[in-house]
Structure 1
Amino acid sequence: MSHPSTLASAWDTSCVGQPADVSLLELSRLGEHLAHCGALRGPVDQLLAGAAWLQTLVAEHVVTVALLITLLVGVVSLVR
């Protein structure tokens, strides 16, 4: 037999009954924060981001990359 909960939800949002909206001050602070975080990124982070991009690109085209590698190996073996 299940018993209904007698605990009522007691949380409020910061909107306090109004529609949620972002103020210009909040957007400005967010932009400053993102600019600051971007400035802290060094060359290693950029290299890792580039490697992740390349991995994604290759992963999307696995069959094409396998075909190109096979063709390249075939051409190299014919040239020798």
Structure 2
Amino acid sequence: MTTTPARSPCWSTSSFGRAPDTTPQELCALGEHLSLCRGRHGRWSALSCAMQALRGIVAARAMTAWLVAGLLLAVVIAVS
């Protein structure tokens, strides 16, 4: 049985032999993207953060409540 030797991977980087640095066009596009993201979330970011914090608190308490309910159920079943 003959096998062909595995070839090493063949790829090229985005710098194409030049120094790996950002171009002015890339920086401009990144700046536009960041300003667009900030604009979309600017007014609602405080409310969003508050809602995420509330969700974390409720989730932690819900898990504790389920654990206590399970333990109580186990005790009731064990006693009866």
| TM-score, scaled to structure 1 | 0.46
| TM-score, scaled to structure 2 | 0.46
